[in-house]
Amino acid sequence: MIVRPELEGVKMRSKSYLANSKGMTLIEILVGMVIFAIGVLALTRVMFGAMRANTKSKHVVVATNLAHQRMEQILGSMRYSDITNANFPTEDYGTVAGGDPDYANYRRSVAIADSLDALGSSVMKEVIVRVEWREKGVDRNVELRSSISRFKDVKL
């Protein structure tokens, strides 16, 4: 055993504090339980916050998919002259996607505006697809916008 010179002659205690203790006091147990409870409460708050964020993002994803689906219908299946508000009526709550119960909390509308040239002919249409839903008393929405040229029908 190597002994440092400055500690020569100093007696060391052979028993530690913990070796002398006979157990934990009631106060120590209560303090430990309070610290544990505070940690559990903090984790619970984090979990509930994550669950709320998950629900909110689910609504945004569903609404975006519904808007994208309608925009694809508009852009892909119609002639330029058929792209009108009358051909894409508003689907109210409970009627989106043919009344599918998964979409009962959503409302989908389409707004189509013509841009006219100097002669009054439509040369471009701006299409806005809007999907709305209500979340905890607050109205939320997603909008997709696109422009369609009348030259869409021209085959080269």
Q: Residue 4's pLDDT is what?
A: 64
φ, ψ dihedrals at 104, nearest 5° = -65, -25
Q: Residue 81's pLDDT is what?
A: 84
Q: Residue 150's pLDDT is what?
A: 76
* Tokens 């839903």 -> residue: 133
The larger pLDDT score, comparing residue 91 to residue 152, is at 91
φ, ψ dihedrals at 146, nearest 5° = -150, 155
The 10s digit of each residue's pLDDT in 99-134 is 888 899 999 999 999 888 878 888 889 999 999 999
* CB environment 6-28: b (16+ within 10 A), e (fewer): eeeeeeeeeeeeeeeeeeeeeee
pLDDT band at 36 (very low <50, low <70, confident <90, very high): very high
The secondary structure of residue 93, as a DSSP letter, is T
pLDDT band at 156 (very low <50, low <70, confident <90, very high): very low
152: closest CA among 128, 127, 131, 124? 124
